[in-house]
Amino acid sequence: MNKSIEYKGKYVLVVGLAKSGFAAANILHDLGAYVTVNDYSPREGNKEAEALEHKEIKTVCGGHPLELLDEPVDLIVKNPGIPYSNPLIHEAVRRQIPIVTEIEIASIVAKADILAITGSNGKTTTTTLTGLMLEGSGRKPVVAGNIGTVLSEMAAKSTDQEILVAELSSFQLQGTETFHPRIAVLLNLFEAHLDYHGSFEDYGHAKGRIFANQTEKDYAVYNADDEKVSSLALRSKAKKVPFSASSILNEGGYVKDGALYFYDEEIIRVNEIALPGKHNLENILAAVCAAKLAGASRENIQEVLKTFTGVKHRLQFVDEVAGVKIYNDSKATNILATSAALSAFQSPVILLAGGLDRGNSFDEMIPFLSGVKGIVCFGQTAKKLEEAARKAGIETIIMADNVEDAVPKGFSIASDGDVLLLSPACASWDQYKSFEQRGDMFINSVHKLK
């Protein structure tokens, strides 16, 4: 039976527009559902709402009125960024109305298999690598999800000759019921988004949803070096495919005698890999496992690993000015990501860090600050980062208003051979719309140094 038929005649409330809500509303309408779209932004200037109304889809803008729940509602499709503490969503939970995100819709309408990737850090790098490795494999990879293109939109257009390579967040995965990837990858788990999920346990549970509906015919790729990840993966019914950057395994992906292996097959010598950093070796192992399982050739994987140097905003080399190498790691939105970035460099580092205050301290980052020559702190967490830097024995600590102010201040204390690194260890939302905007402002400020 085509599961898409289940939506015909159902009353669906789509909460939150943006790209994912717009795609979900269109798909559900085309499947015969009675769709109402609710967006917090006002109707004036809301192009998505205007486009939906042209298809005779009802829109309610300018807030999230509880009265929407007094009308028939069989299902809510929630924008991942809207927390469950939102009054409308909270009341829907109380009334036991099912709530999903658009990736649930994607799973149901997709004709292509889904290769899903999640984790606290490294999702974008791993997803990008996997997609590139699968080029020319016989099944066209379509990269989507949290990486930029809405998964349900791509799923609705997909064919069985394609494979959907999806980067997924905990926000997206929490809103799933039947979501079923053919290959699921869990990279790591670190305390993140606790303001959204409430606890690390609930955050891990959300990530673990990636394995929940897998069967014996599927594959669960997981980081064997992370106990929490292993615990979640071992509950899956799928065939387990571990990877490890520190131990030689009998299966999956691992490093032995200076080479990267997938089961008994040597894939590439580690010194031939272009992407630096131990944390990236873990991402590479995960991508190799996923890509091999999906049909990628050894030769194509080698070509990608010899040439791929990273994605924008993730340890992206920006420029070299007066002998100072400058890197943009704006996507490092938590302590683990920044710690990993610091571990990738041997040269003295001038660290630019700060952003949204989620209530945590930065003491866990102190062991990784030994190679930091100076730090420039900005944003809501500036004082907390200053405190951690003093505990770490960093003598040069500078306060800045924002990233644009931090760049010249950081450069002023850098010497020939140093690294100037933006790796904020925090989300961007206190001062910027996204980590991308923050990274772009950093890049613009670097260009002004010349």
DSSP state string for 214-228: --TTSEEEEETT-HH
Residues 138 and 238 in one domain: yes
- Per the domain annotation, does 380 fall within a domain? yes
Catalytic residue IDs: 123, 146, 193
pLDDT value for 1: 40
| Domain extent for 25 | 9-100
* Bind-site residues for ATP: 119-125
For the chain, the maximum distance between any two Cα atoms, rounded to a whole number of angstroms, is 67
Point out the residues of the chain with pLDDT beneath 70: 1-4, 191-198
**Can you read off the two tokens belonging to residue 73?**
């509602």
Residue 315: alpha-carbon gap to chain centroid: 15
Say which CATH number the domain at 371 has.
3.90.190.20
Residues 187 and 300 in one domain: yes
- Per the domain annotation, does 49 fall within a domain? yes
The number of folded domains in the chain is: 3
Q: Specify whether the CB–CB gap between 183 and 116 falls below 8 A.
A: yes
Task: Label residue 1 exposed, middle or buried (CB < 10 Å: 0-12, 13-18, 19+).
Answer: exposed
pLDDT value for 189: 87
* Bind-site residues: 119-125
pLDDT value for 194: 60
- Per the domain annotation, does 4 fall within a domain? no
Say which CATH number the domain at 246 has.
3.40.1190.10
Residues 177 and 139 in one domain: yes
Instruction: Report the 3 state secondary structure along 102-146.
Output: HHHHHHHHCCCEEEEEECCCCHHHHHHHHHHHHCCCCCEEEEEEC
- Per the domain annotation, does 1 fall within a domain? no
**Can you read off the two tokens belonging to residue 104?**
């649930």
pLDDT value for 409: 98
Where among 256, 283, 307 does a domain terminate? 307
Q: Specify whether the CB–CB gap between 52 and 16 falls below 8 A.
A: no
pTM of the model: 0.78
Residues 281 and 390 in one domain: no
- Per the domain annotation, does 87 fall within a domain? yes
Residues 192 and 111 in one domain: yes
pLDDT value for 30: 95
In three-state secondary structure terms, 286 is: helix
Residues 109 and 186 in one domain: yes
Residues 296 and 390 in one domain: no
In three-state secondary structure terms, 130 is: helix
- Say if strands 162-167 and 140-145 run parallel, antiparallel, or are unpaired: parallel
Residues 241 and 341 in one domain: no
